[in-house]
Amino acid sequence: MSSTINSGSSATLGTGLDGPNTAPAAPTYVAKPAQYIEARWYNDSPTVIKQGNLSSDEVGDFVREKGKFVYTPNPDSAGGFRLLLSMGTAKDSEAFGQTIPFTQPDFAIIMSGLKIPRHFMNFVSSNGSGVLAKSSEKEGTGLIMQTPDLGLKNPTVKITLMLFHHSPMNLTTGLLHAHFGNWHTRLPDLLKQSIPTTPNFHWLHIPIMALSIYQSDLETVRVGLGSKILRLGGGMAYKDWKAQEESSSGSNDPAVVIKGINRLIHQLACSDNRATYGMRWGKFLLEELKKGPVGGNKPEEDEPGQHREYKEYLEAIKELFTGCKETFDSLNKRVTAQHTMLYSTVSQNDNKLNYQIAKAAKSDGYDMKAIALLTTFFLPGTFVATFFSANIIKIGDGIRSLWIYWIVTIPLTAVVIASWMLWSRMHRQRDLAADVEAGQYMAILETGRLG
């Protein structure tokens, strides 16, 4: 097996750890050595007693051995968690054998070792809209959370968290698989810092912390998208189109700007889905938190205010997700308006260009009409002069003979011009009648009265 897929305790999403890469299941996945963190509680504050790397061959041993709680000198106060951690960077959507470096049979063995029901496999392998699933057994409770697969080429935080809480021993064993952007680098330290300072450990502490980091990453995305859209406000849509013609390959090229806007719209939609999932996640944990107090004890045995603090913390995170979602909705309306404005600007300048072309064509039409009129005026006289010069008809010399030329030329010119005007008028009337008929036909089609 390669490094592991999910799990969970605590939470701080981070990026890869130092060490050689394991053989990836797909060329788009960079897997890091699996790590585990183990902590136990007794009467004193919790202590991380073991931490280190696991080779791919040791992952199965972790599940078989660490899934049991052996060292319990004081069973009444025993408690803790063990976490197997797998991380990497992925470019494609998450699936078995790709960004999750496990085959389905391998993953089924791990789930069996953690006593998590096998039917959870269906949830994890179908994660298009995110997974929030739970199943209670006699010895404890299984929980799986998987963030939505948004199909982005460069996804940010992507988490698969699988836990099994053994109620009699107050022991949580889990798997956490995550891939992130390269800015997350301190995952092991953040996990240790998130260990509660009380042996009265609530097993939902781990997914609560994971939710917190998921929200923090989404907040980073929100700020980044807001900055991009703010810069877009001074873009091409507010400038004269003529100034852009000389920079067709630059950032103000309409094709480039439209492509960028479409990308922003897609990112906003994906981020909105992430915010929606975060709200569902928070609601899911709140409902689980209400079912039982910290550590599974009776309410009067809880540490004062601890259960309330978890509840208030979750409600605050839910409000943050709600704020992010409202912001994404607002940004989406803004960038959509910018998109519409851009197309309106392009259409407006296209209309101006078409008007200029039509105006030039009209001017050319007047010129052609004048040329045609002049040609029509001089053509009969030229024809008559050519005919007389051929000596087909004998005409005497002298100025008096010119009257024959004018008697023939003037009537012929008048007939040609009148015929041209009549022919032109007939064609205009015929075209107008065709347009009227076409308009009436379209009106009939629109009103549904045809046939």
Domain boundaries, the chain: 1-201, 223-376, 394-451
- In this structure, the chain runs to a length of 451
DSSP letters of 35-58?
A: EEEEEEESSS--EEEEEEEE-GGG
| Cβ-contact 17, 33 below 8 angstroms | yes
Best-predicted range by mean pLDDT (14-23, 265-274, 400-409): 265-274
State the pLDDT at residue 237.
Answer: 42
pTM (2 d.p.): 0.62
pLDDT tens across 406-450, in order?
Answer: 888 888 888 888 888 888 888 777 877 777 776 666 666 556 554
| Segment 110-133 mean pLDDT | 74
CA–CA dist 134, 143 (Å, integer):
5
Tell me: pLDDT of 395 over 60. Answer: yes
**Which residue has better confidence, 212 or 198?**
212
Tell me: pLDDT of 92 over 50. Answer: no
Tell me: pLDDT of 215 over 80. Answer: yes
| Segment 130-151 mean pLDDT | 80
Tell me: pLDDT of 334 over 80. Answer: yes
Region at 136 (left for phi over 0; alpha for psi -120 to 50; beta for the rest): beta
| Segment 221-246 mean pLDDT | 62
Mean pLDDT of the chain: 69
Cβ neighbours of residue 174 closer than 8 Å, sequence gap 6 or more? 6, 7, 8, 9, 81, 82, 83, 84, 114, 161, 162, 163, 164, 206
With a pLDDT cut of 70, the percent of the chain lying above it is 55
CA–CA dist 251, 143 (Å, integer):
48
Cβ neighbours of residue 205 closer than 8 Å, sequence gap 6 or more? 10, 194, 196, 310
State the pLDDT at residue 279.
Answer: 92
Report the range of poorest mean pLDDT among 69-73, 346-350, 357-361.
69-73
Tell me: pLDDT of 368 over 80. Answer: yes
| Cβ-contact 272, 328 below 8 angstroms | yes
Query: Whose CA is closest to 236, among 356, 355, 344, 353?
Result: 344
In whole angstroms, how large is the CA radius of gyration of the chain? 40
CB count within 10 Å of CB 24 equals 18
DSSP letters of 119-183?
A: THHHHHH--TT-EEEEEE-SSEEEEEEE------SS---EEEEEEEEETTTTEEEEEEEEE--TT
CA–CA dist 412, 379 (Å, integer):
10
Pairing verdict, β 79-90 and 131-136:
unpaired
What does the block give as tokens for 271?
Answer: 């981020």
pLDDT tens across 172-197, in order?
Answer: 888 877 766 544 445 555 666 666 65
132 forms bridges with which residues in the sheet?
Answer: 145
Buried/exposed 306-318: b ≥16 CB within 10 Å, e otherwise: bbeebeebbeebb
| Cβ-contact 278, 321 below 8 angstroms | yes
CA–CA dist 225, 270 (Å, integer):
12
Query: Whose CA is closest to 42, among 74, 12, 66, 9?
Result: 74
Give, for 85, the enclosing helix (H) or strand (E): strand 79-90
126 pLDDT band, cuts 50/70/90, is low
DSSP letter, residue 81:
E
320 pLDDT band, cuts 50/70/90, is very high
Half-sphere exposure in the Cβ direction for 295 (13 Å, CA) = 20
Q: Determine the 3-state secondary structure of 71 from DSSP.
A: coil
Tell me: pLDDT of 276 over 70. Answer: yes
State the pLDDT at residue 89.
Answer: 54
